[in-house]
Amino acid sequence: MKYADIIVDISLEALDRVFQYIVPETLVSDIQVGSQVLVPFGKGNRVLRGYVIGFSEEPEYEPDKLKEIQSIQKGSMVVESQMIRLADWMSRMYGCTHAQSLKTVLSVRRKVRGGTKKVYCLAVSRAEAESEMKKLAVQPRFASRVALLALLLDDNEGQGISETEMKKKVPSPTAALRTLVKHGWIKVREASDYRIPYSGAKDGKTVHLTLGQQQAVEGICQDGRMVHLLYGVTGSGKTEVYMQLIQRTLASGRQAIVLIPEISLTYQNIARFRQRFGRRVSVMNSRMSDGERYDQYIQAKNGEIDIMIGPRSALFTPFPNLGLLIVDEEQDGAYKSDTTPKYHAVDVAIQRMEMCGGKVVLGSATPSVVTYDRAMRGIYGLHRLEDRVAGGPGMAKTCVIDLREELKQKNYSIFSRRLQKEMEERLERKEQILLFLNRRGYAGFISCRSCGHVIRCPHCDISMTLHKAEQNLLKCHYCGMTLPMPDKCPECGSSYIGAFGMGTQKVAEMLAKRFPQARILRADRDSMRRKNSSIEVFQAFAKGEADILVGTQMIVKGHDFPNVTLVGVLAADLSMFSGDYMAGERTFQLLTQAAGRAGRGEKPGLAVIQTYQPEHYAVTCAAAQDYEAFYRQEILYRRLMHYPPAGHMMAVVVEHMDEMMAREGAILLAGVMADEEIQVLPPADGFRAKEKDYYRKVIYIKSNEINGLIQCRKRAQSLIHSDTLFREMNVQFDINPMNL
Ligand code: ADP
Ligand code: ZN
Ligand code: ZN
């Protein structure tokens, strides 16, 4: 006998309540996860529509109390069915409950907390509204209704008009509004604060693709492979290729999703799509309320829009016939979810398109090593755009400064002599400067300021970090190995060895001392707690209200400051030795992006990269702007150490208020997970060893096959469910972790 787990309603409360039904013999061969079924429900046996979310061989209740499924809805899979199958895949892949994955994937209405305003918009087509308006215009007593319809027809942006706004233009509109809503001419929805500048007219401009762009478009359309990498520097015309692909997708009656990192959701970026595709485009961002997001989902489901642009959650837009999913800047860390399920948007995008038979296009100037490796092995199609479309000053020049030399020349400042000189020149010429500190929130690797040597774990080949709590002990975050802190450099014998750390605040202070005449702005997470303050800082800088902007990662991503002609990277080492296997990749990407910020306008730019290890390939390749050379080096390291893409990794994070308990739990879990096929590293302290009174232990597991990790997670989960030790413990699983 087979039993099906069924949700009978798609609303948030219902997702936690799963009902078991008997699958009758006649339906066994047809039924699958996602199937839409009719089931008798409750005392009166009302017939309700439900969705199958899983199966079991054993009943959870007395079998004679269970009811039978009445029938399966025949016909094509509705979009809910697809989304449920996607959620099912996510549960199995990322090890979360069905309720967790369903809540991530389904467009469920959540209780909306106040704070959003209601707006009115047309509920019928423009033509219908116009003809109704003409009919009503004959009678003077319908003047208010006519005025309201005219107002909404003028709302070219389709963003809706609030009652307050209406009152300014139409005297006492309330009664007329109610009538129009009641008769179905206009409707109410929640407004988004996120207004997109949109002139209302499509630009109609026909762009003639360059040969490279044409080849990419044709190649992607004609190639049988599902996933394609579009690889080209910023300005090489990738967005234009996306738009052509979208156009073709729409022409074939299908819809498209474009994922972009939140930070690049700029007005200019979106306005381009809006101008090309008009009101069929919708935009999502993480500042939207759940209600606003739900509203957008419903529009997508009802076919009112066919392009959705947004960050990773836009992935789950319920388009009925999705044909294209674009992930721009696919290497961006923001595509990895930091809450359960800890999915990666690229992996889920591929899974979703496999289900609905469309294409995935990954775009990047510096692809992730994993993606590029798949393209090199022919799993993904590879399309290059070689040059920038619109001439301009070209790429910035780069120059690498050896900080060991500065020390020898008795320059103890954090600014090298060259950087100081370049900054002086820019200040004199009234050009702007970006100073970039590629810090990851926890510095603490040990390096020699004389020779640049960094102490690495002999087993894991990642840099070890000094723990403040346990003085003079170096630790590896992967395998937990510890070493005493040496008092001399093991390479050169210098006593200039120590923990490396520097914050933007300190940099800004030293800057003010060195250049008292300069106007300085600071941008990092601490100074940007307020919602919109980052936008304010960037706008002020763009308007020329400061000479120097000091900041972390966020200042090098996606912003366009035409008057910046100098970018200084203060210590490339900070991301190079951040203590995980992706450190080299992240450094290369950051340095490349930083160099890309210099000289975006008419004037040529310069990027000055300061480091204690100028010979490191992440630095030399970024300075030469040579991605391929970087990839060739990096992949050797990944293969040697079995790091992705040469293998898969999983982090199991164990948290408890009591450190002994956390350790004991981690040791027990490591024990049940161990297996011949996989390598379970001994439990170690997490990067953040203690957070909000919780101690964190992390177990890293490496396996050649992803399935090996899924199996060992299952063993861990059954121990967690059966052993009371884990009751107070928080355990999380993270497949191919990125931001730990
Ligand atoms: P990317 O997305 O790779 O950064 P874009 O698509 O934004 O590149 O193109 C960079 C600039 O070149 C844009 O201003 C765009 O309008 C312009 N552009 C792109 N393709 C063409 C083309 N075929 N003809 C003329 N201009 C183009
Ligand atoms: Zn040394
Ligand atoms: Zn180690």
Would you say domain 2-106 falls under CATH 3.30.110.30? Answer: no
Sequence length of the chain is: 740
Q: How confident is the model at residue 194 (pLDDT cuts 50, 70, 90)?
A: very low
What is the average pLDDT across 560-585?
88
CATH class of 397-444+501-637: alpha beta
Beta bridge partners of 434: 549, 567
pLDDT digits (tens, 9 = 90+) for 3-32: 999 988 766 566 667 889 999 999 888 888
Task: List the domain boundaries for the chain.
Answer: 2-106, 116-192, 211-385, 397-444+501-637, 648-735
Measure 452 CA to ligand 2 centroid, in angstroms: 6
CA distance 282 to 273: 10
> Measured from the CA of 213, which atom of ligand 1 is nearest?
23
82 has a pLDDT exceeding 80: yes
In this predicted model, which residue has the larger pLDDT, 557 or 273?
A: 273
Q: 237 C-alpha to center of ligand 1: Å?
A: 4
As annotated, the binding site for Zn(2+) includes 448, 451, 457, 460, 476, 479, 489, 492
Average pLDDT score over residue span 573-593: 88
3-state percent breakdown (helix, strand, coil) of the chain, nearest 5: 40, 20, 40
Pairing of strands 71-72, 36-41: antiparallel
Q: Is 670 left (phi over 0), alpha (psi -120 to 50) or beta?
A: alpha
Per-residue pLDDT band for 593 (boundaries 50, 70, 90) equals confident
* Structure-token match 């204690």, residue found: 612
Mutate to test the pocket of ligand 1, among 208, 239, 328, 384 (most ligand atoms within 8 A of CB): 239
pLDDT at 161: 83
Cβ contacts of residue 292 below 8 Å, gap of 6+?
Answer: 116, 190, 191, 192
SS3 of residue 732 by DSSP: strand
Q: Ligand 1 atom closest to Cα of 208?
A: 23
pLDDT, greater one: 403 or 15: 403
Element (H, E) at 549: strand 548-551
Tens digits of residue pLDDT in 143-182:
889 989 888 888 766 667 888 778 888 888 888 888 898 8
Each residue of 537-552: pLDDT tens digit?
888 898 999 999 998 8
What average pLDDT does the chain have?
A: 87
CA torsion through residues 401, 404, 405, 411, sign:
positive
Is the ipTM value over 0.85, yes or no?
Answer: yes
Minimum mean pLDDT among 86-95, 420-429, 504-513: which range? 504-513
Residues flanking ligand 1, CB < 6 Å: 207-210, 213, 232, 234-240, 389-390
Instruction: Report the nearest-CA residue for atom 9 of ligand 1.
Output: 237
Give me the CATH code for the 648-735 domain, please: 3.30.70.600
Pairwise CA distance, residues 429 & 669, whole Å? 62
**Rounded to two decimals, what is the model's pTM?**
0.84
Q: What would the pLDDT profile of 355-377 be if each residue is shown by its tens digit?
A: 999 999 999 999 999 999 999 99
- Ligand closest to Cα of 450 equals 2
Instruction: Decide yes or no: CATH 3.30.43.10 for domain 211-385.
Output: no
Q: Do domains 2-106 and 211-385 have the same CATH topology?
A: no
How far does Cα 194 stand from its chain's mean position? Answer: 19
Q: Which of 306, 312, 304, 256 is nearest to 284 (CA)?
A: 312
Query: In which band, very low, low, confident or very high, does the pLDDT at 682 lie, cut at 50, 70 and 90?
Result: very high
